[in-house]
A and B are shown apart, each in its own frame.
Chain A
Amino acid sequence: MEGPAEIVMPDGSVILCERPVMALCTCRRTLRAPFCDTSHRRRLRGGDKQAKTASRGASRVPRGPAEEAETS
């Protein structure tokens, strides 16, 4: 949704978000309520390696995929 906006929390407190576009958490798993922190993402054990390696499209993957790039 579009900001800036004031968000009224369940306890009545108000949080001001000055970001021009923001993402409110709708999955209730975020650790940074009321905002989405990507905790909604699917988690996988082991099996994801294939999918991830595939997404890398590279035969040479050093030690299993690194999960991060630069911050952006």
Chain B
Amino acid sequence: MTLLSPAVDARPEAPEARGEVSRKVLNRLRGGGSGRLPLAADIARCAPYGEDLQLALHLCYELHHRGFAGVPDNLEWDPGLLGVRALMEHRFESALRHDCRHCPEVEEALAALLVEPVDGTGVSRFLMSSGELWHLREYVALRSVHQLREADPQLWVIPRLRGRAKAAMVAVEYDEYGSGRAERMHSRLYAELMADLGLDPSYGRHVDMAGAEVLAASNVMSLFGMHRRLRGALVGHFAVLETTSPPAASRIATAMRRAGAGPAAQRYFEEHVEADAVHEQLVRREVVGGLLEDEPDLAPDVAFGIAAACFLEDRIGGRVLDAWSRGESALRSPLPPPSGNEP
């Protein structure tokens, strides 16, 4: 088994700015709360899915997850930053609502996700058919932005659910966290997978390399998780993750085996074939079903969450496959060469 260095649990270094808004947010963090905040006009000029706004949102959300090295913990509740975050969230959510305005109803949307296209074209199919080791390493590095805190943003919804939905959500999350065994926690399995591929498994290490599409897909979980108002959207979003995961994980497990990745690399994806086949059932029937029985008025929000997850994931797939089809890297900056995983 792979040994993880203590650095895995340290607070990450803050990433580099990607524009005016993220630069000002970073200055505020580095100045311990004294820097000048971005203005509403700065934020209004940002593209809602663009690099600058998505990185700035990531910075704000990370204060609620792990924080950053050298940034005081009390900035999590800095009123200035919270105000800026609200403006950015409004921009992000409005764009998503607009792009998902024609979304189908919950049942139709979930039924569509349960159909496996024979001739699909997603990233996992590319990896299975022609993925080389460097593709796999890039893919795993990109996904690490979220997977190293797998299940965390979804946990925030639990106090806002009741009855069946709450019980089932806890059951799924308990499994994500290793059912009481730290060594089985999915985020831990992910870190071991990274080490197997010679990637640095430290939290936040690959954020600078990840484009806005990856940040947006991760930010949307924090957006849905932190607002009670958006509990329906969180549940819909989570249903997409659990439903689409098993077939994709099985393809990636095959790709890992073929590329000669180590046992931990295969284990992570194999675990997810089996685990998410269960999670999908629980989330669809009990969490979505239970929530809509309890609060039928949330159906449009659940449908929105489903559509938003699909929309943002498609954007990642588009950017990654575009780059790979040109033989280019899908990252913003190159990965360091594989490192040995022995200390």
Contact = CB atoms under 8 A, between A and B. Distances in A.
B120 A64 contact: yes
A21 interface: yes
9 contacts: A36-B274, A37-B274, A48-B115, A58-B102, A58-B307, A60-B311, A65-B122, A65-B310, A71-B276
Interface in A14-37: 18-23, 31-32, 35-37
Given A57-B103, A71-B245, A19 B277 contact: no
Contact of A55 (B150, B242, B282, B310): B310
Q: Is the interface of A mostly helix, strand, loop or mixed?
A: loop
A63 B150 CA distance: 27
A41 B116 CA distance: 6
B278 A72 contact: no
A9 interface: no
A71 B143 CA distance: 9
A19 B179 contact: yes
Given A41-B114, A55-B307, A72 B174 contact: no
Interface stretch (B28-36, B67-75, B316-324, B329-337): B316-324
Interface of B: 99-104, 108-125, 143, 146-147, 150-151, 171, 174-176, 179, 186, 217, 238, 240-242, 244-250, 268-269, 272-282, 303, 306-307, 309-311, 313-319, 321-322
B277 A55 contact: no
Contact of B118 (A23, A35, A45, A51): A45
A46 interface: yes
Nearest to B113: A55
The 5 tightest CB contacts between A and B, nearest first, are: A62-B318, A57-B103, A66-B317, A68-B248, A57-B307
A36 B282 CA distance: 13
Contact of B101 (A49, A57, A60, A65): A57
A59 B273 CA distance: 30
A71 B315 CA distance: 16
Contacts of A65: 117, 120-122, 310, 314
B246 A38 contact: yes
B179 A67 contact: no
